[in-house]
């Protein structure tokens, strides 16, 4: 699975690891708003790495958790999903709007093989200080360069270079971001 090769999600070890992640997610997602210590401890147990400061709003969902490697200053708004069958690298200062979905999981294109059960994964890289707008979807194997902005509702199917505004389905670069630009991505669409 981690090597990006075909694997069976029904493998007993993987089933047990997903169940453990579900237990932690259940604890996190049902925690009270004032239970910040419980929330932090639960996410530190779930994630493979998470920086000293972060804020993740419940509900949050993932497959395993241990493949999510986040640096300092991560913010995830409500309803984010990370399908982390392979490593999902999240740089420092990254911000996710509500309902952002990151997919490291995918399936074979050949219908017979796909229907027989094996799955695939490809790592995702979201570099430092990226802002991903609400409802965006990031596909397997994608790298988003540092300081870039992904517009709300975008579907990122290929790499995005650093320092750009990109949006759409499929997501495409709209323009570079000059230093000090205060416009929102929506003003550029």
Structure-token pair, residue 99: 């309902």
- For the CA atoms of the chain, what is the radius of gyration? 17
For 74, residues 6+ apart whose C-beta sits below 8 A from its C-beta are: 50, 51, 54, 55, 56, 90, 93, 94
Name the catalytic one among 26, 89, 106, 107.
Answer: 107
Q: Give the end-to-end CA distance of the chain in Å, rounded to a whole number.
A: 38
Residue closest to 137 by CA, chosen among 159, 154, 123: 154
Residue in this structure with the two tokens 């990109």, named with its chain if needed: 166
Clarify whether 107 is annotated catalytic. yes
Q: β-strands 120-121, 137-138: how paired?
A: unpaired
Residues serving a catalytic function are 107
């Amino acid at each position: 699975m981690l090597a990006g090769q075909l694997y069976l999600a029904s493998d007993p070890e993987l089933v047990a690891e997903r169940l453990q992640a579900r237990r932690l997610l259940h604890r996190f997602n049902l925690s009270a708003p004032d239970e910040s210590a419980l929330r932090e401890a639960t996410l530190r147990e779930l994630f493979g790495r998470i920086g000293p400061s972060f804020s993740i709003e419940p509900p949050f969902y993932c497959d395993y958790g241990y493949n999510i490697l986040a640096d300092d200053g991560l913010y995830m708004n409500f309803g984010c999903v990370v399908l982390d069958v392979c490593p999902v690298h999240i740089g420092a200062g990254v911000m996710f709007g509500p309902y952002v979905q990151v997919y490291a999981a995918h399936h074979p294109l050949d219908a017979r093989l796909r229907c027989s059960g094996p799955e695939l994964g490809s790592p995702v890289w979201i570099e430092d200080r990226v802002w991903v707008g609400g409802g965006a979807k990031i596909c397997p194997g994608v790298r988003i360069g540092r300081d870039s902005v992904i517009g709300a509702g975008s579907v990122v199917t290929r790499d995005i270079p650093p320092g750009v505004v990109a949006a759409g389905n499929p997501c495409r670069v709209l323009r570079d971001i000059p230093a000090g630009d205060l416009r929102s991505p929506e003003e550029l669409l």
